[in-house]
Structure 1
Amino acid sequence: MDPVLEEFLSDPAADVSALHDVARIKAILEQCARDGRAISYSELLLNLGFRFTRPKMRGQGWWTGRADYKGEWTGPQAQAHIRQLQDGIFTYWQGRPV
Protein backbone atom coordinates (compact mmCIF):
# COMPACT_ATOMS: atom_id res chain seq x y z
CA MET A 1 0.00 0.00 0.00
CA ASP A 2 1.14 3.56 -0.70
CA PRO A 3 2.86 4.92 2.47
CA VAL A 4 0.92 8.22 2.34
CA LEU A 5 -2.39 6.37 2.01
CA GLU A 6 -1.38 3.94 4.76
CA GLU A 7 -0.59 6.84 7.11
CA PHE A 8 -3.89 8.52 6.25
CA LEU A 9 -5.96 5.39 6.81
CA SER A 10 -4.17 4.48 10.05
CA ASP A 11 -5.91 7.31 11.96
CA PRO A 12 -7.64 5.36 14.78
CA ALA A 13 -10.28 8.08 15.23
CA ALA A 14 -11.32 8.04 11.58
CA ASP A 15 -14.21 6.10 10.07
CA VAL A 16 -12.59 5.12 6.77
CA SER A 17 -16.01 4.36 5.26
CA ALA A 18 -16.62 8.14 5.22
CA LEU A 19 -14.20 8.37 2.30
CA HIS A 20 -16.63 6.28 0.26
CA ASP A 21 -19.78 8.12 1.35
CA VAL A 22 -20.37 9.84 -1.98
CA ALA A 23 -23.77 11.24 -0.96
CA ARG A 24 -22.33 12.83 2.18
CA ILE A 25 -19.33 14.32 0.37
CA LYS A 26 -21.56 15.57 -2.46
CA ALA A 27 -23.91 17.22 0.04
CA ILE A 28 -21.03 18.99 1.80
CA LEU A 29 -19.61 20.29 -1.49
CA GLU A 30 -23.02 21.39 -2.81
CA GLN A 31 -23.84 23.25 0.42
CA CYS A 32 -20.54 25.11 0.26
CA ALA A 33 -21.28 26.07 -3.34
CA ARG A 34 -24.78 27.29 -2.41
CA ASP A 35 -23.18 29.32 0.40
CA GLY A 36 -20.75 30.79 -2.14
CA ARG A 37 -17.65 29.64 -0.34
CA ALA A 38 -14.75 27.36 -1.13
CA ILE A 39 -13.88 24.42 1.07
CA SER A 40 -10.32 23.28 1.69
CA TYR A 41 -9.15 19.69 1.76
CA SER A 42 -8.58 20.05 5.50
CA GLU A 43 -12.12 21.31 6.16
CA LEU A 44 -13.65 18.51 4.09
CA LEU A 45 -11.55 15.93 5.92
CA LEU A 46 -12.57 17.40 9.28
CA ASN A 47 -16.24 17.19 8.22
CA LEU A 48 -15.66 13.51 7.47
CA GLY A 49 -14.06 12.91 10.87
CA PHE A 50 -10.37 12.87 9.89
CA ARG A 51 -7.58 14.82 11.49
CA PHE A 52 -5.69 16.88 8.94
CA THR A 53 -1.92 16.74 8.87
CA ARG A 54 0.46 17.95 6.18
CA PRO A 55 2.03 14.53 5.56
CA LYS A 56 -1.41 13.17 4.68
CA MET A 57 -1.97 15.79 2.00
CA ARG A 58 1.08 15.99 -0.24
CA GLY A 59 1.28 17.16 -3.84
CA GLN A 60 -0.57 19.81 -5.80
CA GLY A 61 -4.08 18.37 -5.56
CA TRP A 62 -6.44 19.08 -8.40
CA TRP A 63 -3.93 21.23 -10.34
CA THR A 64 -2.15 18.16 -11.68
CA GLY A 65 -5.26 16.92 -13.48
CA ARG A 66 -6.25 20.22 -15.14
CA ALA A 67 -6.09 20.40 -18.93
CA ASP A 68 -7.63 23.89 -19.15
CA TYR A 69 -4.85 25.74 -17.32
CA LYS A 70 -1.14 25.69 -18.07
CA GLY A 71 0.17 28.51 -15.84
CA GLU A 72 1.87 28.55 -12.46
CA TRP A 73 0.02 26.92 -9.56
CA THR A 74 0.43 30.00 -7.37
CA GLY A 75 0.26 33.74 -7.92
CA PRO A 76 -2.21 36.20 -9.47
CA GLN A 77 -2.85 34.18 -12.65
CA ALA A 78 -3.69 31.05 -10.65
CA GLN A 79 -5.89 33.04 -8.26
CA ALA A 80 -7.80 34.58 -11.18
CA HIS A 81 -8.33 31.14 -12.73
CA ILE A 82 -9.63 29.73 -9.45
CA ARG A 83 -11.94 32.74 -8.95
CA GLN A 84 -13.37 32.26 -12.43
CA LEU A 85 -14.05 28.57 -11.82
CA GLN A 86 -15.55 29.21 -8.39
CA ASP A 87 -17.77 32.04 -9.65
CA GLY A 88 -19.25 29.71 -12.25
CA ILE A 89 -19.83 26.96 -9.70
CA PHE A 90 -21.35 29.33 -7.12
CA THR A 91 -23.63 30.85 -9.77
CA TYR A 92 -24.88 27.42 -10.80
CA TRP A 93 -25.56 26.12 -7.28
CA GLN A 94 -27.14 29.36 -6.12
CA GLY A 95 -29.54 29.21 -9.06
CA ARG A 96 -28.48 32.60 -10.40
CA PRO A 97 -28.76 33.31 -14.12
CA VAL A 98 -25.52 32.88 -16.01
Structure 2
Amino acid sequence: MFDRGEVREILVGAARAGNPLTYSQMLGLLGHRFTRPLMRQLCKVLDAIDEDGAASGEPGLAVLVVRQSDGLPGQGWFASRSATHPDLPLDWEGTEARRYIKYRQREAFDYWNKR
Protein backbone atom coordinates (compact mmCIF):
# COMPACT_ATOMS: atom_id res chain seq x y z
CA MET A 1 0.00 0.00 0.00
CA PHE A 2 2.67 2.51 1.02
CA ASP A 3 5.90 2.91 -0.90
CA ARG A 4 8.76 2.42 1.56
CA GLY A 5 11.03 4.78 -0.40
CA GLU A 6 8.46 7.57 -0.40
CA VAL A 7 7.80 7.18 3.33
CA ARG A 8 11.53 7.18 4.06
CA GLU A 9 12.03 10.30 1.94
CA ILE A 10 9.34 12.14 3.92
CA LEU A 11 10.90 11.03 7.20
CA VAL A 12 14.39 12.12 6.17
CA GLY A 13 12.94 15.51 5.18
CA ALA A 14 11.24 15.79 8.57
CA ALA A 15 14.50 14.87 10.31
CA ARG A 16 16.44 17.49 8.35
CA ALA A 17 13.77 20.07 9.22
CA GLY A 18 13.91 19.05 12.89
CA ASN A 19 10.18 18.49 12.84
CA PRO A 20 8.23 15.43 13.94
CA LEU A 21 4.99 14.63 12.10
CA THR A 22 1.69 13.41 13.47
CA TYR A 23 0.25 10.19 12.10
CA SER A 24 -2.44 12.27 10.43
CA GLN A 25 0.11 14.61 8.81
CA MET A 26 2.14 11.65 7.56
CA LEU A 27 -0.91 9.97 6.05
CA GLY A 28 -1.93 13.31 4.50
CA LEU A 29 1.49 13.68 2.88
CA LEU A 30 0.96 10.22 1.41
CA GLY A 31 -2.43 11.27 0.01
CA HIS A 32 -4.69 9.63 2.58
CA ARG A 33 -7.06 10.61 5.35
CA PHE A 34 -6.37 9.23 8.80
CA THR A 35 -7.99 5.88 9.49
CA ARG A 36 -6.88 3.27 12.00
CA PRO A 37 -6.39 0.56 9.32
CA LEU A 38 -4.17 2.91 7.29
CA MET A 39 -2.26 3.90 10.42
CA ARG A 40 -1.56 0.22 11.17
CA GLN A 41 -0.31 -0.32 7.63
CA LEU A 42 1.87 2.77 7.91
CA CYS A 43 3.33 1.51 11.20
CA LYS A 44 4.43 -1.72 9.51
CA VAL A 45 6.28 0.31 6.90
CA LEU A 46 7.82 2.54 9.59
CA ASP A 47 9.11 -0.54 11.43
CA ALA A 48 10.62 -1.92 8.21
CA ILE A 49 12.32 1.42 7.50
CA ASP A 50 13.84 1.41 10.98
CA GLU A 51 15.03 -2.19 10.58
CA ASP A 52 16.72 -1.30 7.27
CA GLY A 53 18.23 1.85 8.75
CA ALA A 54 19.59 0.03 11.80
CA ALA A 55 21.33 -2.43 9.50
CA SER A 56 23.05 0.58 7.88
CA GLY A 57 23.95 2.21 11.20
CA GLU A 58 21.30 4.92 10.98
CA PRO A 59 19.18 6.11 13.90
CA GLY A 60 15.48 5.36 13.79
CA LEU A 61 13.15 7.54 11.76
CA ALA A 62 9.80 6.12 12.90
CA VAL A 63 10.24 7.99 16.19
CA LEU A 64 9.41 11.13 14.22
CA VAL A 65 5.80 10.01 13.68
CA VAL A 66 3.78 10.82 16.78
CA ARG A 67 0.29 11.16 18.17
CA GLN A 68 -1.19 14.63 17.95
CA SER A 69 -2.49 14.38 21.51
CA ASP A 70 0.85 14.09 23.31
CA GLY A 71 3.69 14.12 20.77
CA LEU A 72 4.64 10.49 21.44
CA PRO A 73 4.66 7.48 19.13
CA GLY A 74 1.93 4.95 19.80
CA GLN A 75 2.24 2.00 22.13
CA GLY A 76 3.12 -0.24 19.18
CA TRP A 77 6.30 1.73 18.54
CA PHE A 78 7.48 0.99 22.07
CA ALA A 79 6.34 -2.64 22.00
CA SER A 80 8.02 -3.42 18.67
CA ARG A 81 11.37 -2.11 19.94
CA SER A 82 11.39 -3.60 23.45
CA ALA A 83 13.62 -6.53 22.48
CA THR A 84 16.22 -4.43 20.63
CA HIS A 85 16.30 -1.29 22.78
CA PRO A 86 17.03 -2.19 26.40
CA ASP A 87 17.01 1.51 27.33
CA LEU A 88 13.31 1.96 26.51
CA PRO A 89 11.26 3.32 29.40
CA LEU A 90 8.88 0.83 30.97
CA ASP A 91 5.94 3.20 30.58
CA TRP A 92 5.12 4.39 27.06
CA GLU A 93 3.50 7.58 28.33
CA GLY A 94 4.55 10.30 30.74
CA THR A 95 7.69 12.26 31.51
CA GLU A 96 10.20 9.45 31.08
CA ALA A 97 8.73 8.44 27.73
CA ARG A 98 8.76 12.06 26.52
CA ARG A 99 12.39 12.48 27.55
CA TYR A 100 13.36 9.27 25.75
CA ILE A 101 11.48 10.21 22.57
CA LYS A 102 13.01 13.70 22.50
CA TYR A 103 16.46 12.11 22.81
CA ARG A 104 15.78 9.67 19.95
CA GLN A 105 14.29 12.44 17.80
CA ARG A 106 17.34 14.64 18.44
CA GLU A 107 19.53 11.72 17.41
CA ALA A 108 17.70 11.54 14.05
CA PHE A 109 17.74 15.34 13.58
CA ASP A 110 21.48 15.51 14.22
CA TYR A 111 22.31 12.54 12.01
CA TRP A 112 20.32 13.73 8.99
CA ASN A 113 21.52 17.33 9.28
CA LYS A 114 25.09 16.08 8.83
CA ARG A 115 24.21 14.29 5.59
Compute the TM-score of the two structures, normalised by the length of structure 2.
Answer: 0.59
Aligned to 2:113: 94
Deviations 1:11-46 (A, max 9, x none): xxxxx4xx1x12211110000000001112211111
Residue among 59, 75, 81 paired with 1:66: 81
Report the alpha carbon displacement of residue 85 of structure 1 after superposing the two structures with TM: 0.4
| Alignment length (residue pairs) | 77
Deviations 1:36-81 (A, max 9, x none): 011122111111111113x434772311112221411110000000
SS in 1 for 2:21: coil
Alignment partner of 1:78 is 2:60: no
Partner letter of residue 22 of structure 1?
R
Residue ranges of structure 1 left out of the alignment (5+ in a row):
1-15
Report the alpha carbon displacement of residue 94 of structure 1 after superposing the two structures with TM: 0.6
Q: Which structure has the bigger radius of gyration?
A: 1
Matches within 5 A, 1:29-48: 29-48=11-30
Q: Which moved more, 1:56-65 or 1:41-50?
A: 56-65
Aligned-residue RMSD, C-alpha: 2.0
Q: Is contact 2:14–2:21 with CA below 8 Å preserved after alignment?
A: yes
Identity %: 39
SS in 2 for 1:71: coil
